[in-house]
Structure 1
């Protein structure tokens, strides 16, 4: 989009170089393909090469104006199956907090209490070499109002992930194309890892303005009210962890390449680690990712120990060995005590390889 600067990490050249380096599959068929299995079964046009996916486009309202949104996750299993979206039962634990908008649906059309302003200009300026992420400057291109959250309920104890992506003020920075008459939208995606498997996920909202700008997503601070900081407890937490490596190995053709610094160099996606995925039947998945930033220590870097990490157990092991450090949040027992960062990135998983 001309009004915002795109993060170099998702430029086409960097993506294709990364695909060749780590063996990502080519274009996928609508049903998945390319070595990936769709988790959001209502999605079409999944394409790992262009890093994009097409979803059903829904229309609601806010104070009389049209609001366009997508539904990707649902806390009710039967309703999730009916909609063709991810089952994420943990989202119900956020009911009664500011992380969930209490919406109405007269005549089946959702009336949103909160809305997103898509008019700001997104800006991402990397910092100096070796500190591209931490030394950068960031301004998100979409800002939710005091009520907005991508999580909504219209009653019945069910919570939906319903990110707003367009209204009278503009549109989401990850939109590739939007077809309102035919009710579909194509969005950019990122590659990640789960237990050594490849994942493809959306980047829709974040409670940190830095993350929202870097990921080209909506700034939604109310997400921080979702319970479970540093916890993956299926009985109390609305979150699951995502582990971005800040200062991983760099080099566009390096098969060990990974990290936010590398992404800001234009070398490809950051290749974050997802703790859980939908469809496992254990109820642990949530799109409300509890961000756990990972920092390689200088001692580990000097000793040549820095490498690509592809699972939560990899992170727990490196942490136990003193090779990495984390954020300032509480220790997460499901990750060997690795600490949380204190904010959320809303990134529904689309497919798993």
Structure 2
């Protein structure tokens, strides 16, 4: 059986990484207080559990290039009518990636999708947080690796792009897969919480275009995703991306109501609580998140200015006042819609499931 390995830099935090399930993730104790209500975006989703951070999705059968069976989920369509029929998020911007390596060409035969590319789910996922801050980790090896043709974005050549992540094949299962109900052909996947415009959201994490990102998020390494156009741009006419904004060195502490960030997450304190720039339903929404991290300055921390940010507007305000800056590892262009915060240069495929009450 495939194993997930994570070394902890502090004692007593194994539970925050899902040790009870045998799958190491960055989830922990509930990071946000939820009222019990949710606005579900993916209408085909059921059994949303914001406390356990899980959701059930329809599971579809397909075939790989070698003829093996693969299983996948669909979370977005670039065509609004098609999205409504499927009960998934509309994401018209995905069509801007047509003709790039980010979109895998597939065929439909005998009612099944035949994929050119597929992941290898057999590697052991290894994450060793650094000391004393956790991030960046000393070791980060993803537990699933897409082959040279793999991307979750697919098209049959009809002009429509689907976000169709493969989650099980003969090599194993996705690292965020919790369980499969074969009688109903539904799969339960684990989620992350985050923020949009001051509100709590919950979202899937399925692929990353950087090994480090895929490892720490328990996703599939899919480098072809990085061919999606529009780095540091949210233009709905040309970009397939939208910014997701993680804090690198946000406030820490499991019981700290201001807790947030990659350091905190790698130390086992809970979800990173990333901020998304747009929600499903808006023409600018895309699950192809352009990772655009920020760092609190030493001066801001010393002045007591560091706190949890809950929306892109707050990010713009803190950046314009010099309290946060682009991460040192961000090598992409400046995102003008975020006052010039720099894109890191890699992608996380994270479909938004619901807005929490």
Q: Scaled by the length of structure 2, what TM-score is found?
A: 0.92
**Contact 1:18 1:252 (C-alpha < 8 Å) held by counterparts:** no
**What is the CA–CA distance in structure 1 between the aligned matches of 2:185 and 2:18, rounded to whole Å?**
27
Counterpart of 1:85?
88
**What is the CA–CA distance in structure 1 between the aligned matches of 2:225 and 2:17, rounded to whole Å?**
25
**What is the CA–CA distance in structure 2 between the aligned matches of 1:56 and 1:5, rounded to whole Å?**
29
Match of 1:198 among 187, 197, 200: 200
Task: Give the CA deviation at 1:266.
Answer: 1.2
Unaligned runs of 5+ in 2: 8-13, 21-25
**Contact 1:51 1:190 (C-alpha < 8 Å) held by counterparts:** yes
Counterpart of 2:298?
298
Task: Give the CA deviation at 1:179.
Answer: 2.5
**What is the CA–CA distance in structure 2 between the aligned matches of 1:12 and 1:81, rounded to whole Å?**
37
Match of 1:349 among 344, 347, 352: 352
Task: Give the CA deviation at 1:6.
Answer: 6.1
Counterpart of 2:111?
108
**Contact 2:137 2:266 (C-alpha < 8 Å) held by counterparts:** no
Task: Give the CA deviation at 1:18.
Answer: 3.8
1:163-194 Cα offsets, whole Å, 9 max, x none, are 01010000001011012342110000000000
**Contact 1:204 1:347 (C-alpha < 8 Å) held by counterparts:** yes
Task: Give 3-state SS (helix, strand or coil) of 1:213's partner.
Answer: helix
Task: Give the CA deviation at 1:143.
Answer: 0.1
Task: Give 3-state SS (helix, strand or coil) of 1:334's partner.
Answer: helix
Counterpart of 1:23?
33
**What is the CA–CA distance in structure 2 between the aligned matches of 1:180 and 1:16, rounded to whole Å?**
28
Counterpart of 1:121?
124
Counterpart of 1:339?
342
**What is the CA–CA distance in structure 2 between the aligned matches of 1:201 and 1:192, rounded to whole Å?**
8
**Contact 1:10 1:269 (C-alpha < 8 Å) held by counterparts:** no
Counterpart of 1:278?
280
**Contact 1:205 1:345 (C-alpha < 8 Å) held by counterparts:** yes
Task: Give 3-state SS (helix, strand or coil) of 1:352's partner.
Answer: strand
**What is the CA–CA distance in structure 2 between the aligned matches of 1:180 and 1:122, rounded to whole Å?**
26
Q: CA RMSD in A?
A: 1.6
Correspondences of 1:1-353 after superposition (within 5 Å): 3-5=3-5, 9-11=16-18, 17-19=29-31, 22-25=32-35, 34-62=36-64, 63-130=66-133, 132-279=134-281, 282-326=282-326, 327-353=330-356
| Runs of 4+ that moved beyond 6 A | none
**Contact 2:27 2:192 (C-alpha < 8 Å) held by counterparts:** no
**What is the CA–CA distance in structure 2 between the aligned matches of 1:328 and 1:165, rounded to whole Å?**
31
**Contact 1:208 1:221 (C-alpha < 8 Å) held by counterparts:** yes
Q: 1:191 to 1:323 in 2, by over 3 A?
A: same
**Contact 1:15 1:49 (C-alpha < 8 Å) held by counterparts:** no
Unaligned runs of 5+ in 1: 26-33
Q: 1:6 to 1:53 in 2, by over 3 A?
A: farther
Task: Give the CA deviation at 1:133.
Answer: 1.1
Task: Give 3-state SS (helix, strand or coil) of 1:110's partner.
Answer: strand
Q: Which 10-residue stretch deviates more, 232-241 or 323-332? A: 323-332
Matched residue count: 340
**Contact 2:2 2:124 (C-alpha < 8 Å) held by counterparts:** no
